[in-house]
Structures are given as structure tokens and as C-alpha cells.
Amino acid sequence: MTKKVLKAVEKVIRDSIGWAKTKDFNLLYKLNSGDNRYLEVHPEDRVIVGFSEFKKMEQFWRSEDFKAINFTIYDLRINLSRNRDVAWWFCRLDDINEWKGQDCSWRNVRWTGVMEKRNGEWKILQMHFSYPEKQTKTV
């Protein structure tokens, strides 16, 4: 049972980045909590609070100038609550993209997040992306 839950959580994590290649906004919004408690922190000191603020980024992603190339997730670690209805994760991410033909990628970004199972579906509540100040070793 736990392996099945972990696979479902991992799929949501991957889809939350992978949707951009095909610009599948239905998938993107299906994965999000869709409420005003949603929180996303970017490495450029941008903080997005609430689903309505999150949706404002749609214009950027829909633009023909934005192109998602690929992504790689490293060192993915997923934890589950005792009731298996809350999951949190850590990984490193290379998210390779272009804007007007210029690189606008996030490389070696630390990515953490929290999701909750609601009505049988995993929904992302919070994500935090950051660049390490220096390379750190995992203990």
C-alpha cells in the first residue's frame, strides 16, 4: 500500500513540473490546492500566496516566447504522514526552459513541497525553491 501511495505522490511531483512541456493547464490546475492557502516561494525572492496569484503566471507560461525544454529530478525523498493523507518531499531540480530563445532555467535548485490528499486526489499546498549558497553534503 505504501509503495502505491509513494508512486502516486511522485507522479504529482513530476507532473507539477512536466505539464509545462505540453502546456497542459488542466493538469497543472488539477494538481494545485486551488485555495487561498496555496504558497509558492521562488529562488528570486518571489512569494506567491493563494491560487488567484498563482494563476496570474499563466500569461507567462502560455506565451509562445516560453518554451519548456526538459527537467531532471535528483535525490527525491518523499515522506508520508501516519494516515497517508499528507506528503512532503525534498529533491534537487534542473528545470530547463527558454524565454524568447534565451535560457531561463533553474539549475541545481532545492525543491521542497507539501501536499494533501483531498477527496481521493493529491493536491499541492506549498512549494519552496531555492539555490544553495554553497554546495552541501547530505548527512
Give Cβ neighbours of residue 103 (< 8 Å, ≥ 6 apart).
96, 97
89 burial type by CB count under 10 A (0-12 exposed, 13-18 middle, 19+ buried): buried
- CATH for 2-130, options being 3.10.450.50, 3.40.50.620, 3.40.50.150, 3.30.365.10: 3.10.450.50
Q: Concatenate the DSSP letters of all residues of 4-33 into one string.
A: HHHHHHHHHHHHHHHHHHHT-HHHHHHHB-
Confidence tier at 139 by pLDDT (50, 70, 90): very low
pLDDT tens per residue across span 90-127:
999 999 999 999 999 999 999 999 999 999 999 999 99
- What are the extents of the domains in the chain? 2-130
Q: Residues 66-81: what's their mean pLDDT?
A: 97
Q: H or E stretch including 54?
A: helix 51-55
Q: Residues 80-99: what's their mean pLDDT?
A: 97
Q: Are 89 and 79 in contact (CB under 8 A)?
A: yes
pLDDT tens per residue across span 4-22:
999 999 999 999 999 999 9
